[in-house]
Chain A
Amino acid sequence: MSNQTPALRLEGIVKTFPGVRALDKVSFSVMPGEVHALMGENGAGKSTLMKVLGGIYQPEEGRIIVGEQPVVMTSPLQAKAKGIVFIHQELSLAEELTVAENIYLGELPKKSFGRVDWQQLYAQTDEILGRLKVGFDAKTKVGDLSIANQQMVEIARALTVEAKAVIFDEPTASLTDAEKVVLFDVIEDLKAHGVGIIYISHRMEEIFKITDRISVLRDGHYRGTLTTAETDEDEITQLMIGRKLDLSRNASHHEIGDIALEVRNLSCGKLFRNISFDVRRGEVVGFYGLVGAGRTEIAETLFGLREPSGGEILLDGQPTVIHSPADAIAKGISLVPEDRKGQGLILGMNCRDNMTLPQVSDLKAGPFVAEGAEIAIFDQYRDRLDIRTPGWKQLVGNLSGGNQQKIVIGKWLSMHPNVLIVDEPTRGIDVGSKSEIHNLIRELASQGYAVIVISSEMPEVLHVSDRIVAMFSGKIIRTFTSEEVTEDNLIQAISGITSDKAA
Chain B
Amino acid sequence: MRPSNLSGVGTFLAKQGILVAFALFMIGFTIANERFLDPDNIMGVIRSSAILGVMALGVTFVVISGNLDLSVGSMMSFATIVVLDLHDKIGPTLAIPSMYAMVLCLGALIGFLVGYLKLNSLIVTLGMLSAIHGLTLTYSGGKNMDIADKEGTWFSVFGQSDALGIPVPILIFALLASVLGLALAKTPFGRKVYAVGGNGTAATFSGIRRARVVFTCYLASAFCVGTAGLLQASRSLGSQNTVGQGLELEVLAAVILGGASLLGGSGTIFKTVIGVLILGFIQNGLLLVGLQFYAQYVVTWIIIILAVWLDIAAKRGKLWSPIA
Question: Contact residues of A with B, CB < 8 Å?
Answer: 303, 305, 324-326, 328-329, 335, 337, 342-349, 353, 357-358, 360-361, 363-364, 367-369, 411
Contact = CB atoms under 8 A, between A and B. Distances in A.
A334 to B, nearest CB: 9
Contacts of A326: 207-209
Nearest to A369: B188
Interface in B85-139: none
A153 B119 CA distance: 33
B206 to A, nearest CB: 4
Chain B interface extent, by class: 20 to 34
30 contacts: A305-B204, A324-B209, A325-B204, A325-B207, A326-B208, A328-B207, A329-B207, A342-B202, A343-B202, A345-B202, A346-B194, A346-B203, A346-B265, A347-B199, A349-B194, A349-B195, A349-B198, A353-B195, A357-B191, A357-B195, A357-B207, A357-B208, A358-B206, A358-B207, A363-B188, A364-B188, A367-B186, A368-B186, A369-B187, A411-B206
A63 to B, nearest CB: 24
B265 A348 contact: yes
A347 B198 contact: yes
Contacts of A337: 205
Please name the 8 residue pairs, one residue from A and one from B, whose CB atoms are nearest each other, closest first.
A346-B198, A329-B207, A326-B207, A368-B186, A357-B206, A346-B199, A361-B188, A360-B188
Contacts of A411: 206
Contact of B191 (A343, A348, A369): A369
A335 B205 contact: yes
A479 B266 CA distance: 47
B192 interface: yes
A432 to B, nearest CB: 25
A342 B186 CA distance: 25
Contacts of B266: 348
A113 B199 CA distance: 45
Contacts of A344: 202, 205
Contact of A342 (B191, B199, B206, B265): B199
A357 B198 CA distance: 13
Interface in B267-305: none
Contacts of B33: none
A343 B201 CA distance: 6
B187 to A, nearest CB: 6
B268 to A, nearest CB: 13
Contacts, number: 71
Contacts of B201: 342-343
A343 B192 contact: no
Nearest to A325: B207
A125 B208 CA distance: 50
A348 B186 contact: no
B226 to A, nearest CB: 22
The dominant DSSP class at the B interface is helix
A330 B2 CA distance: 51
B170 to A, nearest CB: 25
Contacts of A346: 194-195, 198-199, 202-203, 265
Contacts of A360: 188, 191-192
Contacts of B199: 342, 345-348
Contacts of B205: 303, 305, 325, 335, 337, 343-344
A201 to B, nearest CB: 30
Interface string B170-200: 0000000000001000111001101100110
Most chain B Cβ neighbours within 10 Å, of A326, A328, A348, A411:
A348
A368 B187 CA distance: 4
Nearest to B182: A368
A305 B208 CA distance: 12
A369 B188 CA distance: 6
A58 B195 CA distance: 36
Given A337-B205, A346-B194, 12 more contacts: A325-B207, A326-B207, A343-B201, A346-B195, A346-B202, A348-B266, A349-B195, A349-B265, A357-B195, A357-B207, A368-B186, A411-B206
Interface string B251-277: 000000000000001100000000000
A329 B209 CA distance: 12
A342 B204 CA distance: 11
Contact of B198 (A348, A363, A364): A348
A349 B191 CA distance: 10
Nearest to B211: A324
B93 to A, nearest CB: 28
Contacts of B209: 324, 326
B179 to A, nearest CB: 10
Most chain B Cβ neighbours within 10 Å, of A344, A357, A364, A367:
A357
A331 to B, nearest CB: 11
Nearest to A368: B186
Contacts of B204: 305, 325
Contacts of B202: 342-346
A367 B186 CA distance: 8
Most chain A Cβ neighbours within 10 Å, of B191, B203, B206:
B206
Contacts of A345: 199, 202
A156 B208 CA distance: 45
A328 to B, nearest CB: 7
B85 to A, nearest CB: 36
Interface string B305-317: 0000000000000
Contacts of B206: 325, 357-358, 411
Nearest to B264: A348
B322 to A, nearest CB: 12
A364 B194 CA distance: 17
A278 to B, nearest CB: 24
A325 B210 CA distance: 11
